[in-house]
Amino acid sequence: MTALQLGLDTFGDVPTDDAGRVLTHPEAIRQVLDEAVLADQSGIDVIALGEHHRPEYSVSSPETVLAGIATRTERITLASGVTVLSSDDPVRVFQRFATVDALSGGRAQVILGRGSFTESFPLFGYDLADYDVLFEEKIELFHQLLAEQPVTWSGTTRPALADADVFPKTAGGLDTWVGVGGSPQSVVRAARYGLPLMLAIIGGEPERFRPYVDLYRRATEQLGTPEGRIGMHSPGFVADTDAEARETYFPSYQKMRNTIGALRGWPPLRRAEFDHEIENGSLYVGSPETVARKIAASVDALDVSRFDLVYTAGPQTVSARLRAVELFGTQVAPMVRDLLASRAGSPA
């Protein structure tokens, strides 16, 4: 049985200090660094930084921030969550993460995705009409680069390569996953390349994603590719009590959700909907015991070997975020492992 990994994800949401002042982008980036150091010290397995190009988020270049984290941590895996490969260059992505891998002693991990936000496409000169072909061609090239041998490749989205060697090399290969938001085609694509699968489950009952887990395993078997690990990430927040977690998290989560919803045609978030999602959906909000029990149930139901909690949402306070990181590492993670171990040892 593959050992369970437990991680934390953030997009570098711009927080506030305890006096209510909104931090600047430089301050917000340094705050992410401090939280990653605390995560490392608290025993958390992974810190994953997402890429965004919007004013409410501070991290537009995950690998740059991860390089800084690498110099101040010792054991935690340093991941992107995700790198929008469609609007980037596969060669440069490989080189940057190979550099993080060197700085961290082999702890870098890249999670490749198509991007649910589209600001990066016009920003870097890409046409959204090419959304699908951009990712299809670029992940094909990136997969070839992972062999760390000279590459010959041609496509329509970037200049061809002829026996091109790419540097720096890594010491033991670059750990590469594919992030998927719920498209069967994306699941099969990850299986085709034999890359681990990360499912973004941000709403509704987690169990509804079990068909994607089964599809991935069936596809790897039929295609004859290696079956990689399967993980999931979902939003949530940990505080000392259930009531504190809900009351602390709701205002900032509501603001973040309504900002995005205004662009996507969603109605404003109601408190009843928020509470229902905690009770029945994919919000992991509460005390350490409440969150641990819900994570364990989801990991068990989906049969995955990794769970990442997206622990930031909107303008939360710095102190609340730091406490959430500490509680997740020191209390939630051990409880999850104990709960799953006890279930595995229970008689059928």
CATH at residue 160: 3.20.20.30
**Please, are residues 177 and 197 in contact by the beta-carbon 8 Å criterion?**
yes
Q: How many domains are there within the chain?
A: 1
The half-sphere exposure of 175 on its side-chain side, counting CA atoms within 13 A, is 18
At a CB cut-off of 8 Å and minimum separation 6, what does 201 contact?
209, 232, 233, 234, 282
Q: Which domain holds residue 331?
A: 5-344
Query: How far apart (Å, rounded) are the C-alpha atoms in residues 30 and 178?
Result: 27
Residue the block writes with tokens 């919007």: 54
**DSSP per residue, 98-145:** HHHHHHHTS-EEEEEE--SS-THHHHTT--GGGHHHHHHHHHHHHHHH
Mean pLDDT of the chain: 96
**Please, are residues 50 and 115 in contact by the beta-carbon 8 Å criterion?**
no
User: What would the pLDDT profile of 282-318 be if each residue is shown by its tens digit?
Assistant: 999 999 999 999 999 999 999 999 999 999 999 999 9
Residue the block writes with tokens 């992972």: 146
**Global confidence as pTM:** 0.96
Task: Provide, for the chain, the percentages of residues in helix, strand and coil under a 3-state DSSP scheme, each rounded to the nearest 5.
Answer: 50, 20, 35
User: What would the pLDDT profile of 53-79 be if each residue is shown by its tens digit?
Assistant: 999 999 999 999 999 999 999 999 999
